[in-house]
Amino acid sequence: MATAVQTVERENYLNAGYGLKSWLLTVDHKRIAILYLISITAMFFVGGFFAMLIRLELLTPAGDLVSSDTYNKLFTMHGITMVFFFLIPSVPAVLGNFVIPLMVGAKDLAFPRLNLLSWYLYMIGATFALVSMISGGIDTGWTFYTPFSTTYSHTNVVGTALGIFIVGFSSIFTGLNFIVTIHRMRAPGLTWTRLPLFCWSNYAASLIMVLGTPVIAITLLLVALERLFHIGVFNPALGGDPLLFQHLFWFYSHPAVYIMILPGMGVISEIVTCFSRKRVFGYEFVALASIAIAVLGFLVWAHHMFVAGISVYAALVFSLLSYLVAIPSAVKVFNWTATLYKGSIRYNTPMLYAFGFIGLFTVGGLTGVFLASLAIDVHVTDTYFVVAHFHYVMVGGMVMAYMAGLHFWWPKITGRMYPEGWAKLSALLVFVGFNLTFFPQFVLGYMGMPRRYHAYPPEFQVLNVLSTAGASVLAVGYVLPMIYFVWSLRYGKLAGPNPWNAVGLEWMTPSPPPTHNFDETPVVTWEAYDYEHQPEEEVAVGH
Amino acid sequence: MWKNLPLFPEQASSIAGQVDGLYFFLVAVSAFFTLLIFGLVFVFAVKYRHAVHLRAEQIEGSLPLELTWTLIPLGISMIFFAWGALIYFQQARPPRGAMEVYAVGKQWMWKFEHETGQREIDTLHVPVNRDVKMIMSSQDTIHSFYVPAFRIKADVLPGRFTSTWFHATKTGTYHLFCAEYCGTQHSGMIGEVIVMEPAAYQAWLANGGATGTMAANGQQLFTQLGCATCHRFDTQGRGPNLVGVFGKPVQLDDGRTVMADENYIRESILSPQAKIVAGFKPIMPTFQGQLTEESLGALVSYVKSLSQPQQKAAGGAPEPAATNQSN
Amino acid sequence: MDQQRETSTFGMWLFLVTEIMFFGGLFCAYLIYRATYYEAFVAGSQTMNIWLGATNTAVLICSSLTMALGVRCAQIDRKKMMIILLLITMLFGLAFLGIKAIEYHEHWTNHQFPGPNFQFEGAEAAGINPQNIQIYFSLYWAMTGLHALHMVIGVGLVLWIVIAGARGRYSPDYYAPVENVGLYWHFVDLVWIYLFPLLYLISKKHGG
């Protein structure tokens, strides 16, 4: 264990100015990333708190812990918090913000002040949403289906919708910033085909952010207008079409899931290469797969509506396209697996999370294939099968990728190593707890248990109890890193510029980096993941 | 399977076995690929760990491999797609001659009405081995009619009729769930589908206090609301003669041809300007706001009856509304 | 500086793409409902004052001209002319908003705002479901309202450029903000050029 407290001496972005103002008015992408880290971690635990109450309620078939209205608010707020205020910003706003300028050899993002604005928009949006949740809550489901959300719900729909509207612009501006940065601010010699895949993935996700988010903005705005002023285009009493809402909503919300997963996939590419000491297998294919996912992702939205009343022909088209969008993801999984072949593999925590990702994302992705099948979807849509599917890709996939990235770049961000033993334990707890929580839900769903049910028939109880048990293990797995990351800030072993001996521009500056990132603009003369020419050194395993 | 931990609901409809068959095929293929990936990752992680494999071998990639693992999943996907689509076609097309039951979903109950006039709440009695078509609409929010044992589900919408159908193959009592979140008591909007032997079903029909068949109720409304004034049963009316209209194509004044289904009838009553039959003037008033879902169902049932020489024996009920062939 | 200008313009173009997607949702809803309830849309459209709408269209087109000329002045270092042109642009923008306010007032007093107070004489008699006409008006108020909001923001942006320009902040070496505000202004103008025919000019003679 650490003995004397070690401190970082030289000037870096963390000690380049003290006081609240230097943080709240910063334009340094690294500080903004830290601001995001704190905010989204807080929102993660808010969402997790709601999840805990949900799982506790579902221990028994009767609705006996909270009232029906409260339960409906719980799952709604869990979804909204996790999707809009945690998953969508997580990797881009924290890791992307911090690492992308470093990875491309730039001083900062293209529009640093816009970056700060993005964070403020996030905070304002989160405030609206939290205030709405505390002062009455919202019970429409995160999907806001009309006419329930426009006409029948008695909760704070407008306040919450406004919060999401605002945080949407945070997302749009971040995406805009990334696209312009990657296009225009790469260091000399850093061609597109030498870009780390983390940049490719974030680029693809940013395209979706920029093109898709405005659609949900206008959709929620219309919902708010209908509630406030009766300007109702979704109101069936006026001849409005509730299905129009669903089309507009899912036109964004399906690509949104790719906003969530693509940056995570980018993290995995970085980690698998570093801890196999190898170039990624099929670099061009992985890069193009990211773009393919982004493009195809815009073409499949109505697979959320197979039983909603769309025509048979529409259903066929969207089913076919949904199969197509699965292929690039499969290609990526195969490429990562092939990267391991004849590598020199180390089991550091980031790599353990990456292994977990590959396995769990595979399961989650395959169950998406079930849902793309029309006949099966008719039976399992709106049941726990769907809940299990998206938690596998979002939590087993995305959150694990986020944890992987956090551990991987922690030394760069803070200059400290986290404690490896505790970190490995947490990774294991997360993996075990996660599977125990969500695998039973596949069975529950096929058995017919619908989602968003406060009370359920008794025959579903055993599986629900298993699920809740798993959730308690999972919770521990998430709380531990909170504790040891904070601990590491003061007592963690000092990390040098490149504790993992990784290839990449971000590892060629000190840890933590100086405010201006590089003393001299680097010139890139090597291919991505050039591990062949990386001199061998001991990879840090610090406690 | 195991009584205490079953893995799938009873197979109680003609389609259930087929859906389960596809499902298990998908489970098998998924299990294969999952084990393959898990296995490869595990084997590579152990075999090539740093302690025994000091130096990584840089491998750029392999076009043949990329093509293989792109095209094979694509091929398998297309099999999944085709198989699922074929079953779905069956699910989406109710066979002719199906017995029809109207359903109105409202927060938080199901209201059923058989064509013979029988009404039920939250419980639906149907005969076994009979095609049953549900014609559904909602009084308020979106609901969804879900019977896991039949493997069917269809959203129930305000402002529109939606439909689904099933052919129950086993007698028994099965869960009915609302599967689209609809507010406070969404999880309480559950019921039962009771599948009975034909004789038992007849007995049940005879016992219930029917208030006239749906079509007869519809005929009453047709007269009360003044529809008969324009929609005469000859060619003199200001509106089209509705005999024989249902289920056939209709020529509109802008050249389009549409099918006269339940939603066409509904729209003609509520938004008559949307589609004008060729040769007629756009003078029909709207009845928006004047009719409940049940009334709409009754009117639709009546118009349907004008296209049938005799009502199908939905349990030996008497002939529905007599159709006046002369004025 | 060139790279910076190109970069910031790239950013503005990207932002305008998001605006297209934003308005796109409304246009999508409009197209669907117009196709479904054509007669109701015709009826609603006939309450629009075509002359006021056409005047507004002309006003905006002229404002785009003065805006573009203003950007040109920034490029060639004619500061005074630039300020004048930008001020005229602002005036045009305010004129647009004024005319819009007149139209809104008229529609409001005629009970042509969706909700419990909506009234539309003659609808039922003509066999048109007045509820469907409310959909037309919902879209009218939402689309023109959102557009007007963008105009207000645009006027604010031009004001900012005028003030900064008066202080000598722009030169042929650095005029990116002027150019970018110009891009935004042209975009908002373009949205109106679509809105005008779609909302004001739905003709009864269409489609036989």
Q: What is the pLDDT of residue C200?
A: 94
pLDDT of res. A536: 74
pLDDT above 50: residue C208: no
Mean pLDDT of B291-301: 91
Nearest to A400 by CA among A337, A352, A469: A352
* Mutate which: C118, C129, C132, vs B, most B CBs within 10 A: C129
Residue A2 lies in a domain: no
Q: What is the CATH number of the domain that holds A491?
A: 1.20.210.10
Tens-digit pLDDT profile for residues A262-319: 999 999 999 999 999 999 999 999 999 999 999 999 999 999 999 999 999 999 999 9
Which range among A148-152, A487-491, B113-117, B156-160 shows the weakest confidence by mean pLDDT?
A: B113-117
Test the C interface: residue of B264, B273, B281, B291 with most C CBs within 10 Å: B273
Q: Which of B254, B273, B289 is nearest residue C127 as measured by Cβ atoms?
A: B273
Q: Minimum mean pLDDT among B83-97, B298-312, C174-188: which range?
A: B298-312
Comparing B211 with B244, which gets the higher pLDDT? B244
Predicted confidence (pLDDT) at residue C196 exceeds the cutoff of 70: yes
Q: Determine which of A112-121, A484-493, A511-520, C197-206 has the lowest per-residue pLDDT on average.
A: C197-206
pLDDT in tens, C4-49: 778 899 999 999 999 999 999 999 999 999 998 888 899 999 999 9
Q: Where do the H-state alpha helices sit in C49-129? A: 50-75, 79-109
CB-based contact A365:A326 (threshold 8 Å): yes
pLDDT at C33: 93
- Does residue A543 sit within a domain? no
Cα(A209)–Cα(C16) distance, integer angstroms = 14
| Mean pLDDT computed over every residue of chain B | 88
DSSP structure string for C120-145: -TTTTTTT--HHHHHHHHHHHHHHHH
In angstroms, what CA-CA distances link B319 with B210, B215, B220?
14, 10, 15
At A543, the pLDDT band (50, 70, 90 cuts) reads very low
Residue C171: what are its φ and ψ, rounded to 5°?
Answer: -155, 170
Kindly list the structural domains of chain B, giving each domain's residue range(s) and its CATH number in brackets, ordered by start: 16-92 (1.10.287), 99-207 (2.60.40.420), 214-305 (1.10.760.10)
Residues C128, B284: C-beta atoms closer than 8 Å: no
Give residue B5's pLDDT. Answer: 57
CATH number for the domain formed by residue range(s) C2-200: 1.20.120.80
Cα dist. A11→A180, A412, A510, A515, B50 in Å? 29, 14, 10, 8, 36
pLDDT in tens, A13-37: 888 888 888 899 999 999 999 999 9
Contact C10 A184 (CB under 8 A): yes
Burial class (CB in 10 A: 0-12, 13-18, 19+), A520: exposed
Query: What is the residue extent of each domain of chain C?
Result: 2-200
In chain A, the number of structural domains is 1
CB pair distance less than 8 Å for A222 and C10: no
Mean pLDDT, residues C54-61 taken together: 96
**pLDDT category of residue A540 using cuts at 50, 70 and 90:** low
Query: Could you check whether the bond before residue A147 is cis, i.e. omega within 30 degrees of 0?
Result: yes
Chains in touch with C (3+ beta-carbon pairs under 8 Å) read A, B
- Shortest distance between the Cα of B286 and any Cα of chain C, in A, equals 6
Mean pLDDT of chain A, nearest integer: 93
Q: What is the mean pLDDT of residues A424-441?
A: 96
pLDDT tens digits along A43-53: 999 999 999 99
**Does the structure show a pLDDT above 70 at B312?**
no
Is residue B324's pLDDT more than 90?
Answer: no
- Which residue range(s) make up the domain with A524? 31-533
Write the single-letter amino acid at B204.
Answer: W
Q: How far is Cα A116 from Cα B313, in angstroms, rounded to an integer?
A: 72
Question: Distance of CA A186 to CAs A182, A191, A486, B170, Å?
Answer: 6, 8, 33, 67
Q: What is the pLDDT of residue B319?
A: 38
Q: Residue B256 and residue B263: Cα distance in Å, rounded?
A: 16
| pLDDT of amino acid B272 | 85
A319 falls within a domain: yes
pLDDT tens figures, B153-203:
999 999 899 999 999 999 999 999 999 999 999 999 999 999 999 999 988
- Shortest CB distance from A215 goes to which of C24, C129, C134? C24
Q: What is the pLDDT of residue B326?
A: 37
Cβ-Cβ contacts under 8 Å, C18 against chain A: 172, 176, 210-211, 213-214
Give the residue among C189, C187, C198, C195 at the shortest CA–CA distance from C18: C187
